[in-house]
Amino acid sequence: MNILVTGASKGIGNVIAEELKTLGNVFVTGRNENALIACNAKGFCVCDLSKDINNLVNFIKEKQIDVLINNAGEYIYNNIDDVTVEEIQRIYQTNLIAPTYLISHTVPYMKAKKWGRIINIGSISGVMGEANASLYSASKAGLLGLTKALALELAEYNITVNTINPGWVDTELGNDSIEESAFSKEEIIESIPQRRFVTPEEIARLCKYLISEDARGITGQGINLCAGLSVGI
């Protein structure tokens, strides 16, 4: 099993990569070479998904990836009338276009093996919407549409496609986004039914389960791992 985790330099991706080492060969990609080296993975590829990703595509071909975890993502908190063309392009490129392109290059190896796993890390903001984060919400919602369509397209090849939609996660990115928002951490926790942030380890263990044969019947799903945030208040 050859696994690629994007955005593995830190946070959720880093924890996912560590969790999946018992399953097979884990390869990682991200922007920070030193952080990727520290992952102690089977191999790594330095790549910025908002820019040219052809080197990562070549890496995928070389390693014959059959489990793809599209974890890398970027968040912008801004009014829609203040966003720039550059921000729009960067968010969609990183959160939706790059994952789609990477999938298109991993699927041939999965089809050849008649087995594969694609897991997209979305967001509860892509399910419910988030004011002042419209670019982020829209790009993550796009992953859900992609997931459903590809699940149908690839089902006959024993390839499953799912998206995990975390709520607030206790990571550096999660805490940074609090600073950008109009609410304090205490106010945000008060809005979450379980009164807590999700941990990266919970997401990593769910990835591990979705890769397993026990989860082979789960495909085309958006799984909300959000401490009850999607249910209501």
Residues designated as active site:
136
Q: How many CB atoms lie within 10 A of CB 213?
A: 7
* Measured CA distances, 229 to 156, 162, 167, 223 (Å): 34, 19, 7, 12
Is 14:203 a contact under the CB 8 Å cutoff? no
Q: Are strands 67-70 and 43-46 parallel, antiparallel or unpaired?
A: unpaired
End-to-end CA distance of the chain: 41
